[in-house]
Structure formats: structure tokens, C-alpha cells
Structure 1
Amino acid sequence: MSEIKISPLEIPRALAADGSDDFTAANTLRNQTDETVQAYPELAYDPVVEIAIWQPSTFEERRMLVARDKGRIVGRGDYATQVGDEADTAWINAYVHPDYRRRGIGSRLLTELEKVAADAGKRKVHVYVSSLPSEGALLAAPTGFGAVPRDAAGTQFLGTHRYSFEQVERVSRLPLPVPGLHSLVDDAIKRCSRDYAVHEWAGPCPEKWRDDLALLYTRMSTDEPSAGLEPPEDVWTAERVNEQDQRLLEGTATAVYAAIEHIASGELVAYTSLMVPQQLELAVLQDNTIVLGEHRGHRLGNLLKVLNLAHLERVAPGHPSVITYNAEENRPMLSVNEAVGFVPIGYEGAWKKELR
């Protein structure tokens, strides 16, 4: 039996650059090991989009480890964190090829990733593991909302490594096109207060809205349900919004936005965005949706959702579905999604480990 070696993977500048074959292989490995992706191939991670996400950033740090058997990539470990004195959390994950499981590779990758986090002074790490709906024994989330399969490999693996189970996120799918969408839009507009105005754009954020969008991004990190995960505040600036836009352009993905302005203040108080891959066979990813707390109760979330779906239909039709991830305890957002037609297809368990 050959020795499995773990080493950092240097991220190439582009898929045509030296070393891009390894990055593509690592991307394929992730797709092969994600249960939800296996059941819904439209969820596959596109290496063109992924390589843009993994480029150096002023505001985030990412590292990738790979496990090799005679040069073949058979395991992958991901590390991501924010930059700054308050950034006490790292997000990590380990993926192992099905033919190489139960050989300690996942444990070695996880241990290495935890060491990277600890050496960087992080207080804790978070891991998200996907699973399909199960009729077997379930492990209930401590929030009282949702559960994951108790006997699933990911559940057993993280429990063995002393991670605490904190939360369940529901993975939901909306088939496209949406029947009766224009009627839903008309109804949402009729219910909307005249105190608000709607704005739409596809691609980079207009300069006039970058500061407002940065505030909304920041509030996403503190306002959405996070159970016992205790994520740090993720502070955004106009410069960071612009950097993200440029990375999306490099990755050939298009961001499709709908946002709501509070007319009296002239500020954006809500937004939603969809990340649209270039390949028509892949799903559109529902990114963040937020309405600032002081403006809730006006059905702005429902208005945003249906308006941006109509926006998507105009600027980027032809994709099979929209996929969204929501905390199971986030009943207001789940209700909005269910009313439009989203249905559950899988779940993600959120796990935490204290490092100090």
C-alpha cells in the first residue's frame, strides 16, 4: 500500500495555468463526495467559478490541502477565514474519495486544518456536512428545528472528533420556470407600501449603492439565525463589494440583484441576490436575502424574492432550478420560499469545535 501524502495545493491564477489540472481534480473530488450534488448534478461546483473564488483576497484567507496517492488527488481539505483582529472563526471541511475512505485520510486532513486554524489564533472552527432526507434514525438539532441522519458517515465522523452539532440548514429547490410568476409579482407589488422603491441590476453593484450593500452584507452576518455557532461579525466595505464583483466577473458568474430603497432616507434597507453560472445545465444559487429589522413587517422579503425571480427570467433564462439554503428555525424565510414553490431536497448539519 502506497503512502498517502498531504500537502498544500497552490491555487493557479486560471484554469489554463500550470497546476490547473490539480485544481480541477480537487473540484471534481468535492462533487463526487457531496451527497446532495450526487443526487442533483445541477448542483455541481463549476471549476471556472470556483477558481475565481479561490484567488487571493484582501478581506479573506483561503487554503486548500490535498491528499495524494502516487500523484492522484484522493482527498481535499478546505480552510477559509476572515481577515482582522476580530476574526476568531475558521470554516473548514474534508473530502475523501469513496474508494479511499476508512483509511484515516479524513482524520488527517481535519487535524491539519484544525492546526492551521489554531496556529492562526482562531478560537473555533465550523464544519458543514450535507445529507439527503433519511427515513432512518435522526439526530435532532439543539435548536429544536431539523435533524440529520444519525448513522451518516459525516455525523459519525464529526462526533468522533469531538465536534458539537449546532444547527440544520434546509437545502431547497425551485424548478424553473416558475408557474404564475407574473401574478405573484403583481400581487406582491400591490401589497407593497409606497414608502419603498425597488431597484434591480445584474453584474457589478452600481457605485451609488456600494456602501449601502456593504452594510446589508455586514448585517447578514449578525442578523440571520446562527444557533450556537457564534459567528463573528463579518464587516464589509464598498471596496470589498467591488472586489467580490470583480472576482465574479473573472469566474463568468453573474450576480442578479433586487434591492429596496427606503424613500425617506434614500438608503437600501433590503436586498436579495442570485448567483447565475454560465453553464445552463447548472442551478442558480440563491445567495443572501435580508430585510433590516426596522423595516420588517411590510412583506418586503416576499416582494424581493418574486421580483428577482422575474428579473432572472428576463436576463438569464434556461437554468433548471434555483437552490437555496436556510436555517430550519428561520420560519419567516422558509414560508416565503415555500409560497413561491421551493421544496426540500437535502440538509446541511452545522458543527462547531472550540480550539481554545
Structure 2
Amino acid sequence: MTPTFTVEELVVPQTIDSPDAADFVETIELRNLVEALAYGTHELEMTAVETLPFWLDPENSPRRLFGVRIDGRLVGRGFYETNVGKEGSDAVAWGAVEVLPDFRGRGIGTAIAEFIERVARDEGRDRLLVYVASPDGPGERLDAATGFGSVPRDNGEVRFLLGRGYRLEQIERASRLPLPLDDGELRAAFAGASAASGADYSVHYWTGATPERWLDDLALLYTRMSTDAPSAGLEEPEDVWTATRVSADDERQAASPRTSLTAAVEHVPTGRLVGFTVLSLPSDTARSVGQYDTLVLREHRGHRLGMLLKVANLAALHQHHPGYPSVITFNAEENRHMLQVNEDLGFVPIGYEGAWRKRLS
């Protein structure tokens, strides 16, 4: 007999030590299992205490968390995220649905998806965006609308999304860089990128919170991440950052056991930052480092600044934080320039995810 279940909204705690944090912790454990099965590796796992800061920005990116239990066990989860107060942000929302493999095919994913879509429609959202990993498989392929990359059409998650009216807009590639790197190769790569960029550009580094002198510049770079990075037909709205928001985000991240390493490049004639990249280090050196945002402003591209930034930060990781097994990064498949930088550094693909869009109106 098919068990009955309901979709319930779960509490997002203020701290992991809160009495109401158990549900949140369980959802992160579920997410880690589903992700590991999709990518064939546990290197993408995050702990609940590492993840929580991303959920605690209600003024800019409010998130809601949902779950389904069967016999007291959490077997499916979903989340719903929006942006606040940005031009065009009232039209779009982001969502996700994850169900444990043994409980798929029972309508749990459908119930969570319908719940999230109903929330979006009730708020007047025009479109819902989701990012879903697709393991490789045999048979016919479904091409992304960009013309770069594809997913197996017969995969369960692909059939599910197509059946619900989603369109595959973009493919994101997950890539892995084995560590440690060779000292000589790092020095040579940095020297080559420095020579190509020229004297007009200078690299700066910091660990943890953003230095006050760079708050305004980093706010601009974060804002431009939402407009300059490839986003295919997703029509993602501009996400405006301010110096105040950067500082507040730094304070939230300080509660996490992870350490961030930032390399940024200054355009010396103007004294402004024009590119940056961030590595996120777990406290356990047996786990992988996350390569987070990387951006060079459009008007400063063509000077090998992407290579300069990545090599600079990898060299800082190699020198000051040795012992990690790898670095994991994600890039849009049509972002050929950044993928070439990664491949030149030794990154190899480990999996792919689709970026999907559904029109709700």
C-alpha cells in the first residue's frame, strides 16, 4: 500500500545548536546523499553548520524549506528562494526537489514540486528556475538551449522535469583539480599570466572578511556576477550588492567553520578591483576545497586575468593551506574561456547539472 504523506514547512534555525535545528540537519544529510549518488563522489558534501549561513539572509535572499516524512523519517526535501527588492526579482524564484532513491516513484517529488510551484504562483512569480544534477547514461540526449552540453533524455530527473513543463536552458560542468600542485608549474603559470596582464594589473589577497578599502569594489563585482556570468535563457535578475551587504555576509560566514581565500586583481590606473576569485576551505583537510565565484569584468577581459587570479589563489592555497585532496568548481558549459583556464590548470570533468526554467504564467 502506498503510504500517505504531506509536505510540511520546516524550521530554518538561527544556529545549529538551537533546539529546533534537528530537521535542518537532517535535510542537509539527505542533500549530501542525493548529491553523492548523482556525481559519484562524496567530495561535494557540506555539513549543516557550513550550509546554514547561506540560509540566513532574509533581507536579500529569503529561503523556505520543506520536507516529507514517512514513518518519521525524512525522505524528501525541497527549498524555495527569492531575491528581494531588485528590478525584475519579483518575477523569478528558485527551487529544488530531492528524494531518497528508495522512495522515488511514489509521488513524493511531484507533491513537493507542486507545493513549491503553488507558492511561486501565489506570489505572482512568472518563472521558476531549478538546477539538477544528471548522471551520465545511455540513449538519446537532450541538448541545452545554449547548444553547449546535453543530458540523457531517459534519466528519471530529466523525464520528471520535462513532464512538468520545464525547459533545459543550460548545462553546468562540475570539474575536479587533484592536489597537490607542482611548485614549478604554479610559478611558471603565474609568471606567464602576470606577463600577459602587464603592469596595469596587480593582485591582492585576503583571508576571511573583505578589507574595508575593497568593500565597494567587491559589492560591484558580486553585482556583476549576476549580469556578466553566462546565464543562457534563464533570465536571472540583477542581484544588487552594497558594501553593507558584503560586510553582513562576511559576518554570517564567520560563523561557519570554513575559511575563504580571496584573490582580487586591481586595475592600477583607476585603483579599482576588476576581478576576483574565492576558494572555500573546510576545516577538515581530508575534504575538498570549493572554488566559488570567479569573475573578471567584461571591460577588462582579454588580459589573462582569469588565469592570473586562479593561479594566484591556488598558489596561496598550496603555500599556506596544504594537505587538501582536490578543488571542485562549477562552470557553464558555454563559458569556454573559463573552462579552458580550468583545463589548462588540470581540472577534469566529474559530472554535469542542468539549469531548467518553467514559465508559471
Partner residue in 2 for 1:346: 351
Q: Percent of counterpart pairs with the same letter?
A: 49
Partner residue in 2 for 1:282: 287
Q: Are 1:138 and 2:141 matched, yes or no?
A: yes
Query: Contact between 2:28 and 2:48, CA under 8 Å: does it hold in 1?
Result: yes
Partner residue in 2 for 1:186: 191
**Mean Cα deviation higher: 150-159 or 17-26:** 17-26
Partner residue in 1 for 2:6: 5
Q: Are 1:294 and 2:295 matched, yes or no?
A: no
Q: Secondary structure at the match of 1:281?
A: coil
Q: Secondary structure at the match of 1:111?
A: helix
Q: CA deviation at 1:52?
A: 2.1
Amino acid at match of 1:268: L
Partner residue in 2 for 1:238: 243
Partner residue in 2 for 1:250: 255
How many angstroms apart in 2 are the aligned matches of 1:56 and 1:42? 26
Any idea what the Cα deviations from partners look like across 1:222-256, whole Å, max 9, x if unmatched?
Answer: 11111111100111111111121112111112111
How many angstroms apart in 2 are the aligned matches of 1:243 and 1:351? 30
Query: Contact between 1:36 and 1:131, CA under 8 Å: does it hold in 2?
Result: no
Query: Contact between 2:193 and 2:308, CA under 8 Å: does it hold in 1?
Result: yes
Amino acid at match of 2:262: Y
Counterpart pick for 2:312 among 307, 310, 316: 307
How many angstroms apart in 2 are the aligned matches of 1:17 and 1:320? 33
Query: Contact between 1:35 and 1:131, CA under 8 Å: does it hold in 2?
Result: no
Summarize the alignment of residues 65-76 of structure 1 with structure 2, pairs less than 5 Å apart.
65-76=66-77
How many angstroms apart in 1 are the aligned matches of 2:83 and 2:321? 32
Partner residue in 2 for 1:222: 227
Q: CA deviation at 1:36?
A: 5.8
How many angstroms apart in 2 are the aligned matches of 1:38 and 1:345? 7
Query: Contact between 2:296 and 2:305, CA under 8 Å: does it hold in 1?
Result: yes
Query: Contact between 1:123 and 1:355, CA under 8 Å: does it hold in 2?
Result: yes
Q: Secondary structure at the match of 1:189?
A: helix
Query: Contact between 2:266 and 2:275, CA under 8 Å: does it hold in 1?
Result: yes
5+ residue gaps, structure 2, are: none
Query: Contact between 1:195 and 1:262, CA under 8 Å: does it hold in 2?
Result: yes
Partner residue in 2 for 1:174: 177
Summarize the alignment of residues 85-234 of structure 1 with structure 2, pairs less than 5 Å apart.
86=87, 87=89, 88-179=91-182, 180-234=185-239
Amino acid at match of 1:199: H
Summarize the alignment of residues 52-91 of structure 1 with structure 2, pairs less than 5 Å apart.
52-84=53-85, 86=87, 87=89, 88-91=91-94
Q: Normalising to structure 1: TM-score of the pair? A: 0.96
Q: Secondary structure at the match of 2:303?
A: coil
- Cα 1:85–1:328 change in 2 (3 A) is closer
Query: Contact between 1:36 and 1:130, CA under 8 Å: does it hold in 2?
Result: no
Number of aligned residues: 356
Query: Contact between 2:222 and 2:241, CA under 8 Å: does it hold in 1?
Result: yes
Instruction: Give the CA RMSD over aligned residues.
Output: 1.5
Q: CA deviation at 1:314?
A: 2.7
Amino acid at match of 1:147: S
How many angstroms apart in 2 are the aligned matches of 1:85 and 1:275? 27
